[in-house]
Structure 1
Amino acid sequence: MFEENSKSMNTLLQEAFAGKIVRKDLTKKIKEGANVPVYVLEYLLGIYCATDDEASIEEGVQRVKGILADNFVRPDEAEKIKSKIREMGSYTVIDKVEAKLDPDSDTYRAVFSNLNLKNVIVADFYIKQYEKLLSGGIWCILRMNYNRLESRYDEYDSDAPKGGKKNKVSPFEIEELTPIQLPHMDMQEFFDGRKQFAKEEWIDVLLRSIGMEPTQFENRTKWHLLARMIPLVENNYNLCELGPRGTGKSHIYKEISPNSILISGGQTTVANLFYNMANRTIGLVGMWDCVAFDEVAGINFKDKDGIQIMKDFMASGSFARGKEEKNANASMVFVGNINQSVDVLIKTSHLFEPFPAAMAYDSAFFDRMHYYLPGWEIPKMRPEFLTNEYGFITDYLAEFFREMRKRSYGDTIERYFRFGGDLNQRDVIAVRKTVSGMIKLLYPHGEFSKEDVAEILEYALEGRRRVKEQLKKIGGMEFYDVHFSYLDNETFEEHFVSVPEQGSGKLIPEGQGKPGHVYTVSYGDTGMLGVFKLETEVVGGNGKFEVTGVGYDREARENLKTAQNYFKANKKLISGSISIDTSNFLMHIADCQGVGTTSELALCAFVALCGASLRKPVQSQMCVLGNMSIGGTISKVPELANTLQVCFDAGAKKILLPLSSAADIATVPSDLFAKFQTSFYTSPEDAVFKALGIE
């Protein structure tokens, strides 16, 4: 077990990972003046600033600045760099290079991103070593030559038809190409180094390695920042993060890892993302460890079957194109902005709403998500959130991520726990993957306790339940089983896991309510089911009825008028002590979940008026369902299964149902119906007696 000591984190890092760390303030200092990815900068800093001596560090920083000034190709200086290569004959450049196969000449041709060069021949062995050159390109340090005598064209061979096409060849040649990444990784050295840190210290090391200062964040925020790394260590992991702007959602996928690619704007094609049938080449999912979509609202496939192929890949890690089925290991990340407050979104819609219309109500697509990271819990980035301390060189961190993809800890859960009954197979797979990913990040050396696994398991269950809660809103009763739990293998104790933003569990509180207060569940004018609370007070007066909370909704007011008239005509059937001539009745309708005004209130309003008049409360945690006409005819509850699920989520333990709804009980999952103490009524008066517990 790790023992506390007085060594600073920086000293520990220097001893455990000598030559693999860099001071992040150096990265920040140079990054502000150089528009290059972080891993490009730290590759150079790791070479020239791997020392504790301040003078040597300063000298190294100046040298890195000089290299970037002289060798990093800026688009506006491309012609100057080309001239240097020509005049000097040989020159080193730093640029992003992408290669393509030219079938006419049977050669690979490179395109330079900033240098604006085309048709530069790339040796075949570079393509075999670095396949990512063929998909999206990679940043490289290159020694470039200029061959003045090289023919500008390749002819077809002598057997080619007369007048055959000529292929232009660039006079620029690649003498040496080195991708900006580590050539190998000693994992045992990494594991041995990890053992020297406590869990909290190791979390701080990882966060500093991606440029964050952990002392500025709460523990829960730290875990969210760690969760952003799971797609980089876990194969075929699907992560969604939606939240406010400026929280750094896409930073890690664009800047930190050279093994991930960020698709800005979301525009892509099946050929680019999955498989190009014309060229018979696999797309981005086969070339990158992680494919991230920035701004999910803009996701758009030019191919009509794009989303279907994506769903297939997200579910199985494979997809069919033409006559073949292809496999790939890339994780999929979806990040975007939520423009409304989360409270409003939960009440009026669902948390996947920012996705484009083609996906927004596709429950099968969202069911593939393994984790929904609550981006609204991460603060907007400020200067003090960026660290000045030591962390891993980004290349070293990226190689650690890549090596951990070869391992799995998904079966760790069964050592100590088993899943509750509400998790289906997709839920189990999602939770296993999240647990595996977090263990890879926190305990890569494989040493952890039961308490460590429980902590990770609860976090994993929360993120998957957040997905399931939204699926319930989109797909209804198909996804009713959202009450996730896990059981201890030793004590058999069951632990339930909730999501913080789902506050509906307290809408119908425990304990005795006030007389005249009644809860019901009905459809609002937004078309969504929600909880409504009727609060009724009886004061001295002359028989007036006043209603608030329904605005100018004519249908709702007519429904409440029905309750008032029925109350006046039939009050004596409830109790001879009720008098309306000397009382005024004040009623307020509260829309507890923001689903809009409902008109299904007559029966509940009648119960509320009787309860307030008799000074008798409705039974504890009871929800009164159903409606009635002016003549007292009872109407049954529409969509009974969905309605009962909302009742349960809101905290109801007792249900009062019209007898006419008994036939629909078969549509309700048995384990859901068993959660309630259910009573049936046959008339409005019967509903009052049973709601108030009058024998």
Structure 2
Amino acid sequence: MTGPESTKETDNKLNKYFSGRVVRKDLTKKLKGSDNVPVYVLEYLLGSNCATDDEELIKKGVSRVKKILSDNYVRPDEAELIKSRIKETGYYTIIDKITVRLNERRDIYEAEFSSLGIREIEIDSETVKKYDKLLGGGIWCIVKMEYMPESSPRTPFVISGLKPIQIPNMDINEIIGRRKEFTKDEWIDILLRTTGIEPSKLKYPAKWHLLERLVPLAENNYNLCELGPRSTGKSHIYKEISPNTILISGGQTTVANLFYNLSSRQVGLVGLWDVVAFDEVAGIRFKDKDGIQILKDYMASGSFARGKDQINANASIVFVGNVNQSIPSLLKTAHLFAPFPDAINSDSAFFDRIHYYLPGWEVPKFRPEHFTDGYGFIVDYLAEYLREMRKRSFADHIGNYFRLGNNLNQRDVIAVRKTYSGLMKLIYPDGSITKEEAREILEYALTGRRRVKEQLKKIGGIEFYDVNFSYIDLEENSEHFVTVPESGGSKLIPEGMGRPGQVFAVNRNDSGKIGVYRMELQVVPGTGRYEKSGLGSDSKAKEAVQTAFSYFKANAKSVSQSISTKEKDYQLHVQDLNGAGMTDGLALAAFISLCSGALEKPVHEQTAVLGSFTIGGSVSSIDNLSDLLQVCLDAGAKKVLIPISSARKISAVPPELFSKFQISFYEDPVDAVYKALVLN
């Protein structure tokens, strides 16, 4: 059953089994529109006053919440009015975000009120020890204030009571025990409605992506990356839903702020929060030169060294940002991590620490109909549940039904197990799961990690060639492979026979990038003219194809007596298929193209040409053969032409990669033509 009746039934069950723990999300929407406070603050108040399905009681509760917000929530433009009320009445209760710092000179802790705009208010050590997040980014609190001019020469404001806005206790067994009252789909919908999203408006894969955003809240030291279009709610979870997460807007921070302050000897954000999220990855900057390296080490091990100390922390790291071009375009010209800053972009080891790449382009842009009016948990109740679940692990449950394939290295295995464990905590917290349900989670986990690995292959080459992720069904002893839609490249060298003159070359350019190049040739009656196009202003590439034509004129008869170089005109067009930039290694492919067009004989299906030659016909040796072959495989090649002088380098190619091709060795350019063309 789907639709409104199904939603109503789920709402009824939710109120029955979690009475006092749920709230109607349309109430949150109404109040959120008028006050700029996080969702978890609003729902803390709504949960205290409106946790019922009785319409009359809800109406009264909403009125009370509105009054609390009207009287106690501090709006920045009304700060002076609130300060006046505190002075005139002598005491007053406010709702504000409080941040605390240690004043070493005075040996006291001082609080700063975000909206009220007052600072240097002394706060006792016991409160700071009890709520240590006050020291790292601040938390929303209900604060009882007093006005005592004689208490301090610095400020007359005094904190007489402080209570963080969060549910005081959480019985984790309540959720684990009552989860069985709901089907898998009902439970997923409840989790999504808890975050404010209406699941009936989403396609099934998008639901999983939105659940994946919650995994860092449930899993220790989990590294997630989500890049995609704007308006898909990428940072919403980490800013609004949980009081246990902090969002670093703009991406700029310091080692002292994020990890450890050597002067104050205090652990930074990774020790205070469950999740540290970087908004707008393009802006990630550290004022310290070693910031990126420390972050990379922390992502790998959950620890970092500062001074003489090795410090452990459990915070998950999340990167969110925007992709400003289409995914096919990005894959042709760069890779899916391209939005990261240059300081990170060239470091494949940094990206290898990421456990899951969430494809934000598969999440819809949110419109009003995507936000729910149904019931969900009070967000703080869910946040505290997820925090408690960080103490548990379901990573070993994979072994009940499956084992992972041999293309996964240790980092891949850790990543997949962490994702699997996190999703288990969300959907099957009691550990009760069928084989097909486990398969669904495992395939989702493998896909996200393979997406990381595919991009690493583009950045780092042969080091990351093992991307064919699979798992083995223990019962059936059968191997199953997972793919990603963006693995891409397979159509650069398409299946089927090309027309005469069409040749594909794979070569490295001056910048070190490996490109895939297509030659197209047009042969018409003429006087032996030779024209070239598509090379732009690259003089070395132009020189290479000119070398090909000169060699063609001098050696055409060695290929076939039927070739005419004086009664035909040849127009050669070169296309850089993956945006790597032109190369000076095009002479051989251009020569084969000229011979193919002149003889009207096509090249063998899905053939890639490696190597080049000089004006005298000397064939160049190939460097980094493994990297070139990996690109050939990605581009869709089945047959590869390799100079015989490079045959000794075959031993350095992984057998799994080499076995993917039919290899033809050639001795000189004319021999390469015979090996490339279909002459029958």
For 1:248, the equivalent position in structure 2 comes to: 233
Measure, in 2, the Cα distance between the counterparts of 1:214 and 1:687. Answer: 58
Structure-1-length-normalised TM-score: 0.91
Residue 541 (structure 1) shift:
5.5
Measure, in 1, the Cα distance between the counterparts of 2:512 and 2:106. Answer: 62
Measure, in 1, the Cα distance between the counterparts of 2:590 and 2:109. Answer: 77
For 2:324, the equivalent position in structure 1 comes to: 339
Q: Does 1:505 align with 2:506?
A: no
Measure, in 2, the Cα distance between the counterparts of 1:214 and 1:283. Answer: 37
Aligned amino acid, residue 633 of structure 2: F
Measure, in 2, the Cα distance between the counterparts of 1:342 and 1:281. Answer: 42
Q: Tell me the alpha carbon deviations over residues 142-162 of structure 1, each in whole angstroms, 9 at most, x when there is no partner.
A: 2223335x4425xxxxxxxxx
Q: How does 1:314-329 map to 2 (within 5 A)?
A: 314-329=299-314
For 1:596, the equivalent position in structure 2 comes to: 581
Asked if structure 1 preserves the Cα contact closer than 8 Å seen for 2:15 and 2:52, the reply is no
Give RMSD over aligned pairs. Answer: 2.5
Residue 131 (structure 1) shift:
1.7
Asked if structure 2 preserves the Cα contact closer than 8 Å seen for 1:525 and 1:595, the reply is no
Consecutive unaligned residues of structure 2, counting only runs of 5 or more, are none
For 1:165, the equivalent position in structure 2 comes to: none
Residue 403 (structure 1) shift:
1.2
Residue 654 (structure 1) shift:
1.8
Consecutive unaligned residues of structure 1, counting only runs of 5 or more, are 154-167
For 2:363, the equivalent position in structure 1 comes to: 378
Measure, in 1, the Cα distance between the counterparts of 2:515 and 2:40. Answer: 50
For 1:283, the equivalent position in structure 2 comes to: 268
Of 563, 573, 588, which aligns to 2:548?
563
For 2:514, the equivalent position in structure 1 comes to: 529
Residue 286 (structure 1) shift:
0.8
Measure, in 1, the Cα distance between the counterparts of 2:532 and 2:253. Answer: 54
For 1:37, the equivalent position in structure 2 comes to: 38
Asked if structure 1 preserves the Cα contact closer than 8 Å seen for 2:331 and 2:488, the reply is no
Residue 579 (structure 1) shift:
4.2
Q: Does 1:481 align with 2:466?
A: yes
Aligned amino acid, residue 393 of structure 1: I
Asked if structure 1 preserves the Cα contact closer than 8 Å seen for 2:533 and 2:574, the reply is yes
Asked if structure 1 preserves the Cα contact closer than 8 Å seen for 2:194 and 2:375, the reply is yes
SS of 1:656's equivalent in the other structure is strand
SS of 1:192's equivalent in the other structure is helix
Question: Larger deviation: 659-668 or 547-556?
Answer: 547-556
Asked if structure 2 preserves the Cα contact closer than 8 Å seen for 1:527 and 1:595, the reply is no
For 1:626, the equivalent position in structure 2 comes to: 611
Asked if structure 1 preserves the Cα contact closer than 8 Å seen for 2:601 and 2:679, the reply is no
Of 389, 409, 415, which aligns to 1:430?
415
Residue 478 (structure 1) shift:
2.3
Of 626, 630, 653, which aligns to 1:668?
653
For 2:52, the equivalent position in structure 1 comes to: 51
Asked if structure 1 preserves the Cα contact closer than 8 Å seen for 2:334 and 2:579, the reply is no
Of 215, 222, 225, which aligns to 2:207?
222
SS of 2:461's equivalent in the other structure is helix
Asked if structure 2 preserves the Cα contact closer than 8 Å seen for 1:531 and 1:650, the reply is yes
Asked if structure 2 preserves the Cα contact closer than 8 Å seen for 1:430 and 1:464, the reply is yes
Measure, in 2, the Cα distance between the counterparts of 1:221 and 1:278. Answer: 46
For 1:97, the equivalent position in structure 2 comes to: 98
Question: Larger deviation: 398-407 or 263-272?
Answer: 263-272
Measure, in 2, the Cα distance between the counterparts of 1:496 and 1:506. Answer: 20
Residue 190 (structure 1) shift:
0.7
Q: How does 1:344-423 map to 2 (within 5 A)?
A: 344-423=329-408
Asked if structure 2 preserves the Cα contact closer than 8 Å seen for 1:532 and 1:590, the reply is yes
The number of residues matched between the two structures is: 677
Q: Tell me the alpha carbon deviations over residues 218-244 of structure 1, each in whole angstroms, 9 at most, x when there is no partner.
A: 222222211111111110011112222
Asked if structure 1 preserves the Cα contact closer than 8 Å seen for 2:19 and 2:52, the reply is no
Question: Larger deviation: 95-104 or 238-247?
Answer: 95-104
Residue 553 (structure 1) shift:
4.3
Measure, in 2, the Cα distance between the counterparts of 1:118 and 1:481. Answer: 55
Residue 400 (structure 1) shift:
1.5
Aligned amino acid, residue 119 of structure 2: K
For 1:75, the equivalent position in structure 2 comes to: 76
Measure, in 2, the Cα distance between the counterparts of 1:141 and 1:23. Answer: 23
Q: How does 1:625-644 map to 2 (within 5 A)?
A: 625-644=610-629
Change (3 A) 1:509 1:496: farther
Aligned amino acid, residue 385 of structure 2: F
For 1:157, the equivalent position in structure 2 comes to: none
Residue 693 (structure 1) shift:
5.5
Measure, in 2, the Cα distance between the counterparts of 1:262 and 1:515. Answer: 57
Of 480, 485, 493, which aligns to 1:495?
480
Asked if structure 2 preserves the Cα contact closer than 8 Å seen for 1:214 and 1:222, the reply is yes
Asked if structure 2 preserves the Cα contact closer than 8 Å seen for 1:348 and 1:526, the reply is no
Measure, in 2, the Cα distance between the counterparts of 1:102 and 1:630. Answer: 75
Measure, in 2, the Cα distance between the counterparts of 1:108 and 1:184. Answer: 27
For 1:200, the equivalent position in structure 2 comes to: 185
For 1:88, the equivalent position in structure 2 comes to: 89
SS of 1:285's equivalent in the other structure is helix
Aligned amino acid, residue 544 of structure 2: N
For 1:152, the equivalent position in structure 2 comes to: 152
Structure-2-length-normalised TM-score: 0.93
For 2:223, the equivalent position in structure 1 comes to: 238
State the percentage of identical aligned residues: 61
Residue 360 (structure 1) shift:
2.0
Measure, in 2, the Cα distance between the counterparts of 1:665 and 1:337. Answer: 41
Of 436, 442, 458, which aligns to 1:457?
442
Question: Larger deviation: 204-213 or 615-624?
Answer: 615-624
Residue 71 (structure 1) shift:
0.4
SS of 1:532's equivalent in the other structure is strand
Aligned amino acid, residue 226 of structure 1: L
Measure, in 2, the Cα distance between the counterparts of 1:643 and 1:144. Answer: 69
Q: Tell me the alpha carbon deviations over residues 633-669 of structure 1, each in whole angstroms, 9 at most, x when there is no partner.
A: 2122333221111001112222111112123334433
Change (3 A) 1:493 1:578: farther
Aligned amino acid, residue 98 of structure 1: T
Change (3 A) 1:514 1:199: farther
Residue 519 (structure 1) shift:
1.7
